[in-house]
Every structure is written in structure tokens, then in C-alpha cells.
């Protein structure tokens, strides 16, 4: 039976980041919403309580029965979780005089195993409006900051700890070390969870879930859907039928190139050209959310129609990954805000004839890539930049027309190929072009033009949850801009997007 670190989620946006950090330490983690936690499974060796957007003093503040956890298993409580423990056992939690958000320096008090190899006065990341004003007598302060007297505490006679800061966040300098101390030195995990172990357990779970049913898999040509398809193929063999749909919103020549790439991968693949259907549905639609939902529902219509060509198909396979889930809906049933609907998550219709299977929905992009390499998938597919499921529709501001798609395909083709030719492609996590809705005045051949503006976007990231713009050389941007304006009819101005995520998103819509 595999060892598991259980994360009890109170609705924090950081919950999956906790799981990610735990997996980076080769420990299997599972998330459960606080309102679904009833008892400790036998294979759980440690528990982490997440943060929350709620206040512990709210009338309906989320809670769990701590008697099921304390003294039975090592417990690490973060932010709201720490406040919950202090509050339930007689401490005092109240509003801070000022909202404590951002960088702070942690000063250790005494010596403790949780802070082994953690430098004193190291940087931590705070994000809370409430703070622990008074601890119960059974609890001892083990770290403070200039603004927070109880930055960390332990419980006498237990392996129970509370941190007011977030060790899972990149800005907490020794956060990973603190998590490692808890998982390895205190919980005694063996660090046996790897890409290979994920593959093994996922294939077995797919076999159990699908049984002898047939699955129709939606391929996009990208890493996510390809890895999901190969996992499904290992699980159910010829009961998997893959389909690559041309929705009319792909990159230039992508339909034929992707089908050629898949020729030697060992999957049953059928190509379907449904571009006219998608473009007709999108006619005169300008709202980005409506675009995404229309594309999602049209994909389902197409796949349900295709499923009639294959006898007894019951499942639709998708390459959904966690950033898709967290931006569209709550991944764990807790409260979260929809940032944008991804066509394969929030864009799905309420009623479908096919059940959905998503082998990768708990993984981040870089984890998917590692799984793909372990499956020995062609590196050219694994290293391919992400491309949005709704395609160029969400890179065209305003309504989508055949002519706008043509313009953007040509611009994107020049940009992406130039990155490859100048050995810059591998330095970028995702790149693309956006066709703006307005036109601008230009001068060509002594004459006035009034044509489209395109924005180029290139970002660096590891998981798509945060991203920063890439400092591409000015000489490169100058050449690309010149090539686009000279070679693409309908464009007379090129700009470069230097926004990070947050506050912006990677895509514009």
C-alpha cells in the first residue's frame, strides 16, 4: 500500500501548490475538501491543513474534527489551518492591525527539527488578514517575525505544528526545506513517488475505472493530450480511438503536420475536418467567455457525432491538466473564482452522452512533461510549447472570421519559426501572436494604410500558474516585426507584450 500525505483543503488557491511541492520531494499527495474528510485512511503518514480565504471568526468558517488528527499522526497546519488549531484549543485569533501580505523575515526561537538546515532570519511569505494573538498553554512559539509574534508554533508532546506563513510559495526562501523536514524527518516518508510510480498507479486506476468500455480520445497535437492518450492506450489498448479535429483555429499547416507526427506513435488516430462548423458557430461572437463555451460545446457535438462511427463508445478522453481546472472551476469542491473557462473544463455542456476521463487533471505542465519522457514519447512533442485548446479564437480580439484567422496564422508562423531559427524557442515556455481588434494608421509606399495591429507574447514559466515575459533580444524583435509587416497583408503595426501573470493571464482572452 502506497504512502500518502493527505492535504485537507479549506479552499486556498495555494492548495495544489502544496501538493506540487510535496510531489517534487517524491512523496505521493492526495487532496480532500474539508467537508468530505471523515477519518484517516490507513495509508496516510502525515497531514497538511491548507490556508483559506475565510476567517476563523466567520459564522460558517470551514472546520474539521481535529480529534481525528492530533496525537495520531504528524500534522502541519498552514496559515488558516494554524489559526484553526489555535482557535479550537483555546487560543485567540483576531484581525491584524494591517493586512500581512508579502515578504517577511522569520526569526527562529530555540532549536527544532522542523527548522533543521533553515537559516535564521530567512525570508518567508505572508498572506493573511487574521493573526494568532494568543496561543493555548499547550503550544509553544518556535518562530516570529517583526510583525507576527506567532509565526510558527509546536504542540507539547505531539508532532503538531502551525505556520502562519506559506512554505509552499516560491518566495519562502527555505520553504521546501521546511516541507522536507516535515515529510522526511518527522513523517518518515520513503520518497518513492516518481513519474514511473504515477504511470503505474494511473494505468491501474484507468483499467479499474473504464473496464472493457471504449474511449474516444481528443488529440490536439500537444503534450497534454498526447501523454493522456498514451496512458489510456497502455490501460485499454485497442479500445482507445483517438481523433484529431481541425476546428479551423489551428496554426498554419498544423492539421497535416500533427497527423504526420502521430504516424509512428502506435495509436489508432482519425483526422476530422470540422472547421466550417466551428467558424459558423463563432460568427459575430465577441465575448471571450462565450467563445470558449461555444468551442467547448461544439467539440462535444463533433465528438458525440464521431462516436456514432465507432461501436459502443462510452467515454471521452481529454488532456486536461490542473491549471485548466483551477482557472475554470474548483478542483477540490472548495470555493474558487473562475478566471476563464477552458473549453475542456468550464466550457463543457451540462448534459453529455459521453462520460469524461482525464488522466492528468491533477498534474502541472512540467510534471506532465516528465511523465511523457518516462513513457518514451517523442521529445519533439514533449517539448512543444503549450497551445490553447480553443486555438486562435482566443487570440483574436472581437469576432472571428476566416480572414482574421488567415492573418493570425501567417503572423504566428513567422514568430514561432523565427524563435526556432534563432535558437530561442527552448528559452520560452509559451509564445504566440494576438490579433488586436482595432486598426492603426500606417504609411507604406508613400500611401496611408489603416490595418491591423498584432501583439507578440512570449513568457517563461514552469507550470502556467505564474509567468513572466521573456526579454527577447531587440535585434530579434526588430527583424520579426519587419518580416511580419512586409509579408503579412493586413498588418501595419507590431507590439510586444511585457505583462506578467499575475496580474495579466498568459493568453489575452
Catalytically annotated residues: 79, 166, 168
Q: What is the edge-to-edge ordering of all strands in the sheet holding 122-134? A: 29-33, 4-9, 44-49, 75-78, 160-163, 152-155, 139-144, 92-108, 122-134
Distance CA 415, CA 484 (A): 8
Sheet containing strand 214-219, strands side by side? 269-273, 240-246, 214-219, 313-317, 355-357
CB-based contact 224:325 (threshold 8 Å)? no
**Nine-digit cell string for 465:** 500558474
Nearest residue to 343 (alpha-carbon basis) of 402, 380, 382, 298: 298
**Strand intervals (E) in 332-480:** 355-357, 430-444, 447-460, 468-469
As a whole number of angstroms, the distance between CA 507 and CA 493 comes to: 20
Return the C-alpha cell found at 231. 496512458
Nearest to 220 by CA among 314, 326, 360, 330: 360
Contact 310, 348 (CB under 8 A): no
| C-alpha dihedral, 172 to 177 to 180 to 186, nearest 10° | -100
Instruction: Give the integer Cα–Cα distance in Å for 158 and 350.
Output: 47
DSSP state of 385: P
Cell of 459: 513568457
Q: Please, are residues 159 and 119 in contact by the beta-carbon 8 Å criterion? A: no
DSSP state of 157: T
For the record, the C-alpha cell of 29 comes out as 499527495
Cis peptide before 101 (omega within 30 of 0): no
CA gap 197, 2 in Å, rounded: 10
CA–CA gap between residue 298 and residue 277 (Å, rounded): 8
Task: Return the closest-CA partner of residue 249 out of 215, 217, 226, 221.
Answer: 221
> In this structure, are residues 68 and 40 in contact, taking their beta carbons and an 8 Å threshold?
yes
Amino acid at each position: 500500500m502506497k504512502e500518502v500525505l493527505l492535504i485537507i483543503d479549506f479552499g486556498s488557491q495555494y492548495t495544489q501548490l502544496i501538493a506540487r511541492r510535496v510531489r517534487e520531494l517524491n512523496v505521493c499527495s492526495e487532496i480532500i475538501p474539508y467537508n468530505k474528510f471523515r477519518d484517516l485512511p490507513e495509508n496516510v503518514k502525515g497531514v497538511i491543513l491548507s490556508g483559506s480565504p475565510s476567517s476563523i471568526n466567520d459564522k460558517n468558517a470551514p472546520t474539521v474534527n481535529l480529534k481525528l488528527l492530533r496525537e495520531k499522526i504528524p500534522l502541519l497546519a498552514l496559515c488558516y489551518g494554524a489559526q484553526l488549531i489555535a482557535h479550537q484549543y483555546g487560543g485567540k485569533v483576531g484581525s491584524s492591525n494591517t493586512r500581512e501580505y508579502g515578504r517577511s523575515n522569520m526569526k527562529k526561537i530555540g532549536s527544532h527539527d522542523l527548522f533543521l538546515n533553515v537559516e535564521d532570519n530567512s525570508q518567508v511569505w505572508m498572506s493573511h488578514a487574521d493573526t494568532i494573538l494568543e496561543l493555548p498553554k499547550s503550544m509553544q512559539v518556535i518562530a516570529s517575525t517583526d510583525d507576527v509574534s506567532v509565526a510558527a508554533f509546536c504542540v507539547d508532546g505531539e508532532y503538531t505544528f502551525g505556520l502562519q506563513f506559506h512554505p509552499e510559495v516560491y518566495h519562502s526562501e527555505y520553504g521546501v526545506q521546511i516541507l522536507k523536514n516535515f515529510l522526511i524527518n518527522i513523517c518518515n516518508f520513503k520518497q518513492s513517488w516518481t513519474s514511473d510510480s504515477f504511470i503505474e498507479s494511473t494505468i491501474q486506476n484507468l483499467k479499474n475505472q473504464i473496464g472493457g468500455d471504449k474511449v474516444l480520445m481528443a488529440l490536439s497535437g500537444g503534450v497534454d493530450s498526447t501523454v493522456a492518450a498514451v496512458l489510456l492506450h497502455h490501460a485499454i489498448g485497442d479500445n482507445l480511438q483517438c481523433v484529431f479535429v481541425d476546428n479551423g483555429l489551428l496554426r498554419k499547416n498544423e492539421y497535416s503536420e500533427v497527423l504526420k507526427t502521430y504516424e509512428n506513435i502506435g495509436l489508432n488516430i482519425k483526422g476530422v475536418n470540422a472547421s466550417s462548423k466551428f467558424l459558423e458557430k463563432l460568427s459575430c461572437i465577441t465575448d471571450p467567455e462565450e467563445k470558449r463555451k461555444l468551442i467547448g460545446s461544439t467539440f462535444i457535438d463533433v465528438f458525440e457525432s464521431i462516436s456514432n462511427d465507432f461501436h459502443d463508445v462510452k467515454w471521452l478522453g481529454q488532456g486536461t491538466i490542473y491549471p485548466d481546472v483551477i482557472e475554470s472551476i474548483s478542483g477540490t469542491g472548495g470555493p474558487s473564482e473562475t478566471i476563464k473557462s477552458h473549453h475542456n473544463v468550464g466550457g463543457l455542456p451540462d448534459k453529455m452522452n459521453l462520460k469524461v476521463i482525464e488522466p492528468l487533471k491533477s498534474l502541472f505542465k512540467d510534471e506532465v512533461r516528465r511523465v511523457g519522457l518516462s513513457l518514451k514519447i517523442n521529445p519533439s512533442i514533449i517539448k512543444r510549447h503549450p497551445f490553447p485548446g480553443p486555438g486562435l479564437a482566443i487570440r483574436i480580439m472581437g469576432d472571428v472570421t476566416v480572414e482574421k484567422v488567415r492573418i493570425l496564422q501567417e503572423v504566428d508562423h513567422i514568430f514561432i519559426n523565427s524563435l526556432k531559427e534563432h535558437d530561442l524557442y527552448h528559452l520560452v515556455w509559451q509564445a504566440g501572436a494576438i490579433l488586436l481588434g482595432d486598426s492603426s494608421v500606417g504609411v507604406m509606399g508613400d500611401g496611408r494604410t489603416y490595418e491591423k495591429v498584432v501583439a507578440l507574447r512570449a513568457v517563461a514559466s514552469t507550470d502556467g500558474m505564474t509567468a513572466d515575459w521573456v526579454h527577447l533580444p531587440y535585434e530579434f524583435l526588430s527583424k520579426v516585426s519587419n518580416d511580419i509587416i512586409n509579408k503579412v497583408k493586413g498588418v501595419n503595426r507590431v507590439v510586444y507584450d511585457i505583462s506578467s501573470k499575475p496580474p495579466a493571464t498568459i493568453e489575452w482572452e
